[in-house]
Amino acid sequence: MTTYTAPVVDMEFIFQDILDLYQYKNLPGFQDTSPDIVSAILREGAKVTEEVFHPLNQSGDAEGCQWQNGEVTTPQGFKQAYKTYVDGGWNGLTADPEYGGQGMPYVLGLAINEMLVSANHGLAAYPGLTQGAIEALQAHASDVLKQTYLPKLISGEWSGTMNLTEPQCGTDLNLMRTRATKSTDGSYRLTGTKIFISSGEHDITDNIIHLVIAKTEGGPDNLKGVSLFLVPKFLPNGAGAPGERNGVRCGSIEHKMGIHGNSTCEMIYEDAVGYLVGHEFKGMRAMFTMMNAARLGVSVQGICHSEASYQNAAIYARERLQGRSVSGVKNQDQAADPIIVHPDVRRMLMTSRAFNEGARALALWIALQVDLAEKLPDEKARQDAHDLLDLLTPVIKAFFTDKGYEYTNTNMQIFGGHGYVVETGMEQYVRDCRITQIYEGANGIHGLDLVGRKLPANGGRAAQLFLSTLQSFIETHRNNAAMAEFIGPLGQAMDHLQQATLWLMENAAKSPDHAAASSMEYLSLMAHTAMAYMWNRMALAALNGMDSGKGNQKFYRNKLITARFYMARMLPDILSHLERLKSGADCMMALDAEDF
Q: How far apart are CA 200 and CA 528, in angstroms?
A: 36
Stretch binding a second copy (CB under 8 A), from 30-38, 208-216, 474-482, 575-583: 575-583
- The residue among 221, 212, 218 whose CA lies nearest residue 283 is 212
Q: Rule CB under 8 A: say whether 413 interacts with a second copy.
A: yes
Displacement of CA 377 from its chain's centroid (Å): 27
Q: Rule CB under 8 A: say whether 335 interacts with a second copy.
A: yes
- Judging by DSSP bridges, how do beta strands 71-73 and 264-277 pair with one another? unpaired
Binding to a second copy, residues 290-319 (CB under 8 A): 314, 317-318
Q: How far apart are CA 126 and CA 106, in angstroms?
A: 19
Q: Rule CB under 8 A: say whether 8 interacts with a second copy.
A: no
DSSP annotation of 166 = B
Binding to a second copy, residues 216-255 (CB under 8 A): 254-255
Binding to a second copy, residues 392-411 (CB under 8 A): 405, 409
Q: Which listed residue (381, 421, 484, 505) binds a second copy by CB under 8 A?
A: 421
Q: Rule CB under 8 A: say whether 353 interacts with a second copy.
A: yes
Q: Rule CB under 8 A: say whether 448 interacts with a second copy.
A: yes
Q: Is 178 helix (H, G, I), strand (E, B) or coil?
A: coil
In terms of CB distance, is 117 or 348 closer to a second copy? 348
Binding to a second copy, residues 21-50 (CB under 8 A): none
Q: How far is the CB of 560 from a second copy (least distance, A)?
A: 9
Considering 357, 427, 440, 521, which one is annotated as catalytic?
440
Interface mask (CB under 8 A) for a second copy, residues 92-131, using x and -?
A: ----------------------------------------
Question: In 159-196, which positions are buried (b, 16+ CB within 10 angstroms) versus exposed (e)?
Answer: bbbbbbbbeeebeebeebebebeeeeeebbbbbbbbbb
Q: Catalytic: 440?
A: yes
* Amino acid sitting at position 4: Y
Q: How far is the CB of 300 from a second copy (least distance, A)?
A: 19
Q: How far apart are CA 341 and CA 86, in angstroms?
A: 44
Q: Is 267 exposed, middle or buried (0-12, 13-18, 19+ CB in 10 A)?
A: buried
Q: How far is the CB of 253 from a second copy (least distance, A)?
A: 10
Q: Rule CB under 8 A: say whether 545 interacts with a second copy.
A: no
Q: How far apart are CA 347 and CA 368, in angstroms?
A: 31
Binding to a second copy, residues 426-445 (CB under 8 A): 427, 430-431, 434-435, 437-439, 442-444
Q: How far is the CB of 400 from a second copy (least distance, A)?
A: 15
Q: How far is the CB of 206 from a second copy (least distance, A)?
A: 28
Q: How far apart are CA 529 and CA 490, in angstroms?
A: 7
Q: What are phi and psi of 550, to 5 degrees?
A: -105, 175
Total interface residues for a second copy by CB under 8 A = 97
Interface mask (CB under 8 A) for a second copy, residues 154-173, using x and -?
A: -----------x--xxxxx-
Q: What are phi and psi of 590, to 5 degrees?
A: -75, -30
Active site residues: 440
